[in-house]
Structure 1
Amino acid sequence: MTVVAPVGDEMLEPAANGTPGLEAEEGRGSLAGWYLIIVLTLAYTCSFIDRQVLNLLVGPIKAEFGLDDTRLSLLQGLAFTSAYIILSPIFGRVADTGSRKGVLVFGIMLWSIGTSCCGLARSYWQLFAARFGVGGAEACLTPAAWSIIADAFPTRLIPRAFSVYMMGPYLGGGLALIFGGLLLDGAATWDLSDYPLLASLKPWQMVFFLAGAPGILIALLLLFVKEPARRAAKANEAARHMSGAEIWETFRKYKGFYGNFYLGMPLFIITLYAFPAWMPTVLIRKFGVSAGQVGVQYGIAVLVTGSLSVLVSPWVARAIERFGGRRDNLLIVALACSVVLVLLSLSLMFANTYWSAFAVATAASVAYSLPQALSSSALQMVTPNRMRGVASSVYVFVVSVAGLALAPTFVALITDHVFADEGRVGDSLAITCALAAAGSAFFIARALPTYRRMLEEQT
């Protein structure tokens, strides 16, 4: 692995020409670095608004095109996820070999235009194609953003930077519900007769059309970012590309970490997607509470606990390192949260009141949110610079398959084919998440020895 020479409390890596320089230090922990984080966090937030706003428009879209639930679900899942998975490795490789800033500007512009094009669709297949474009373009964000964040900050600040960036999904998911609903209601009363193109759009189309606009502004804000020099430990690492064979050899050499990490974290992600997808239904079916009450209360709980958890996670990890003397603190948090999620998931089966079940769901939101920034940081910190994009895209692939494609379906299959009783969806959710969290704990524990060795090789 690579070796980094310490300079005071931070790290100074060679610039691309192999010699230390000021360019390598620019933006690390500075105003420029935090400006970068703010813009990337806005981009991540925008990406979740664009991908989730469709969930508010199910009714009008079904009525517009005469769809059944299955065909509409393809717009939510297959159209977006298939393109996202296919293009993630491609964007990852481009991020490793070219301009990460360029990749981000291009991708954000493309998915924003794709979202607006959803509002111009006149047929089901036009809408399907637009959603496919949105999913494919959003695949650029993770590999390019993770790589550039790891270069923009000193090692000690990377988890903190990631914790801010990882607020994006929680902010985006909440804002999609809040402002999407406001736009949907407001668009029905707007007088747009002076704007023929907009006047021809129905309210659901207007929501899509306007949802794409913020991304254009965010892409323009990225133009003012100066891409940091690639972080290198060996003098010639940043100056050359890693071949496919070298990347594969690195994965093989450290398979104890990569293999178990790529198995453990997707299992962990199942809890992150399954709880928000099915917990509202659990509360509605089991306790007879209105959808409006659940939406407001649970939505606020997820938004607040998720955002706060990723923000405080670096301090949690630092406390473990300081008082426990563990350099593998980033993965230790993920392991501990996996164990906690097993217990919380099982306790859901015994929650017999609305507020006890709500409390379990809120605690679970803290547990599955806390390790997100830390696990991302752990992957970036031990991966050679010129394969970070590929490593990140592999991570995106496996968590997308587990989270976006499989997590909600697992719960439904148990409910329909094991219990054959929709009233037991809470038990299905508990079983799915408990098994996934237990598997996650097993694989993360197996990843720790190799992860510690990789950290030692950097000193």
Structure 2
Amino acid sequence: MTSQDPAGPGTRAGATLVALFLANTLSWGDRALLGVVVDPIKRDLLLSDTQMSLLNGAIFIAFNLVAGVAISHWVDRGNRKFILLVGVAIWSIATAFIGAATGFASLATALVLVGVGEATVFPVALSMIGDLRVPAERPRAVAMFQAGTFVGLVGGSILAGVLAAAHGWRWMFVMCGVGGLVLMVAMVFAVRDPARRTDGLSLDATADGDARGAIGRVLTTPGFVPLSLGIGFLGTVGAVLGAWGPAFLQRSHHVPLAEVGAVIGPAVGISGIAGTVIGGVLATLLVRRRGSARAGLLVPLIATPLATPFLALFVFAPTLTGAMTATAMMTFLISLGVAPCFALGSDMVSHRVRALASTLMLFAFGLIGSAMAPFVVGLVSDVLAPGYGTESLRYGLATMIVTPAVATLLLLFAYRRLTDLAPRLRDPATAAVFH
């Protein structure tokens, strides 16, 4: 095997990377479905904004993240292809069963299973990418994988709006669940589990025999915690757009249900894909040019604070055109930094805990971005609803304007802390790359 293709023949490695991209696309596409049909589900099941924010945020994310930590320990030791296939099957079947929900409890149960199934994708992907690509190439590979997030959000939003308008939200979930099972069958033939490699920017590679010890090792890595928290605050913009963007457009800009996905999808998707890919390429160039792994963090450190005025414009723009223009700009700027952060975080630790490290980063991403942020928006919306009516959601969204600044400060702290890594690296030849 060559360093360029550790998984074997190029077509095999390429097919695996494409399959990982499609799995991520499917995962985020399914997550987008509920956000598009918030109002129809609220009416049919008699739920509040707070309950919907719990369903689309805290409940889903809590089980997704807890399951992810356990699964990641399995991923670092087990057959990654098998784990991924089981995950796709679980969340696709659970997505179909959302269509049979009769109330809060049954809807929550189905979403918990979706969250558990989707918890397999990220640790499997970052673990495999670490074996499919050499360290300097990983930011770009992670960026291509992460681009599936926005492809899924676009496709899921558009598909959900069209299918829900034509067949109702229940059948929309059933059809999307069946589509996931079709992809799972294709992945049986496309995915290959590559041999695990030990090169790269890794810390002490002694075996971590138990999950608690492994978690402790990862969390004590200098810079890892602020990096993960920064990733969490980076995730608030995308999570809130997915959970509340369609409802905001329907309530404040009067966009019809059948059209809401087509309106918000391209603004988020095209700019998100462009930002993710460009961010990965820029980070790769910076790492090569400066000979420093932490150089990739310069991308979010510059781009993230620039998103703040566009987030404010999205919330308070008087016209739909202004809101969508702001959405595109803030999504582009935020997405520039996501792949460099995740790529660096997985390179900061031993290959033996790479999946666990990626899941802990995702834990922060999900807890802060996907759970807390949508919940805060929904809660504020409910509290202000008696005085502001449908416009209360606008002021709930306004609470997120400070999050890019918080993310920037955390990433800056992580950038400075990464200089402490060099003495802890076992191989002196790799130490200099962090300076």
Equivalent residue in structure 2 for 1:85, among 24, 44, 65: 65
1:409 match: 375
Cα distance in 2 for partners of 1:417, 1:70 equals 10
Distance 1:215 1:401 in 2: 25
Q: 2:187 aligns with which of 214, 222, 227?
A: 222
- Note the C-alpha offset of 1:445: 0.9
**TM-score, normalising length: structure 2:** 0.83
* Range that drifts further, 366-375 or 208-217: 208-217
- 1:384, distance to aligned residue in structure 2 (A): 0.9
Give 5+ residue unaligned stretches, structure 1: 1-6, 13-23, 188-202
Report the residue type matching 1:444 in the other structure. Answer: L
Q: Deviations over 1:115-153 (max 9, x none)?
A: 222334566544432222111111111112211111111
1:25 has 2:6 as partner: yes
- Tell me, yes or no, if the aligned pair for 2:45 and 2:103 is still in contact at 8 Å: yes
Q: Relative to structure 1, is the Cα distance of residues 251 and 241 closer, same or farther in structure 2, using a 3 angstrom cutoff?
A: closer
**Secondary structure class of the residue paired with 1:247:** helix
Question: What is the 5 A alignment of 1:126-145?
Answer: 126-145=106-125
Q: Tell which deviates more after alignment, 398-407 or 309-318.
A: 309-318
Map Cα deviations across residues 258-306 of structure 1 (whole Å, 9 max, x no partner): 12112221122122323455556666777x5645676533321111111
Contact 1:56 1:177 survives alignment (8 Å): yes
Q: Which has the larger radius of gyration?
A: 1
Tell me the residue number matched to 2:359: 393
In the alignment, structure 1 residue 308 sits paired with structure 2 residue 288: no
Identify the residue that residue 168 of structure 1 maps to in structure 2. 148
For residues 363-391 of structure 1, what are the alpha-carbon distances to aligned partners after superposition, in whole Å with 9 as ceiling and x for unaligned?
A: 10101111122211111122211112221
Please state if 1:296 is matched with 2:276. Answer: no
Q: SS state of the match for residue 229, structure 1?
A: coil
Partner of 1:432: 400
Query: Does residue 1:107 correspond to 2:72, yes or no?
Result: no
Aligned AA (1:372) = V
In structure 2, list runs of 5 or more residues that go unmatched.
none
Post-superposition CA distance 1:413-455 (Å, at most 9, x none)? 556768964657656645522x222221111111113334547
In the alignment, the residues of structure 2 paired with residue 289 and residue 127 of structure 1 have an alpha-carbon distance, to the nearest angstrom, of 27
Partner of 1:195: none
The 2-side partners of 1:157 and 1:63 are apart by 48
- 1:171-205, CA deviations, whole angstroms, 9 ceiling, x for partnerless residues? 22222222233333554xxxxxxxxxxxxxxx443
- Alignment partner, residue 330 of structure 2: 364
Tell me how far apart the structure 1 counterparts of residues 165 and 176 of structure 2 sit (CA, whole Å).
14
State the Cα deviation string for residues 89-115 of structure 1 (Å, max 9, x = none): 111111112122121111111111212
Secondary structure, counterpart of 2:160 in structure 1: helix
Pair 1:32–1:72, CA change in 2 (3 A): same
Q: Confirm or deny: 8 A CA contact 1:348 1:427 kept in the other structure.
A: no
Output aligned runs, 1:27-426, within 5 Å.
Answer: 27=8, 30-58=10-38, 61-62=41-42, 64-67=44-47, 70-121=50-101, 125-187=105-167, 203-224=168-189, 225-233=191-199, 240-244=207-211, 246-248=213-215, 250-251=217-218, 253-254=220-221, 256-275=222-241, 277-278=243-244, 290-291=255-256, 296-321=262-287, 327-345=293-311, 355-412=321-378, 421=388, 423=391
- CA-based RMSD of the aligned residues comes to 3.6
- Residues 335 and 220 (structure 1 numbering): CA distance in 2 closer, same or farther, change over 3 Å? same
- Distance between the aligned counterparts of 1:164 and 1:113, measured in 2? 27
* Contact 2:230–2:406 (8 Å) recurs in 1: yes
- The offset of 1:238, in angstroms, is 7.4
**TM-score, normalised with respect to structure 1:** 0.79
CA distance in 2, matches of 1:36, 1:385: 19
Quick one: which amino acid aligns to residue 182 of structure 2?
L
Identity %: 25
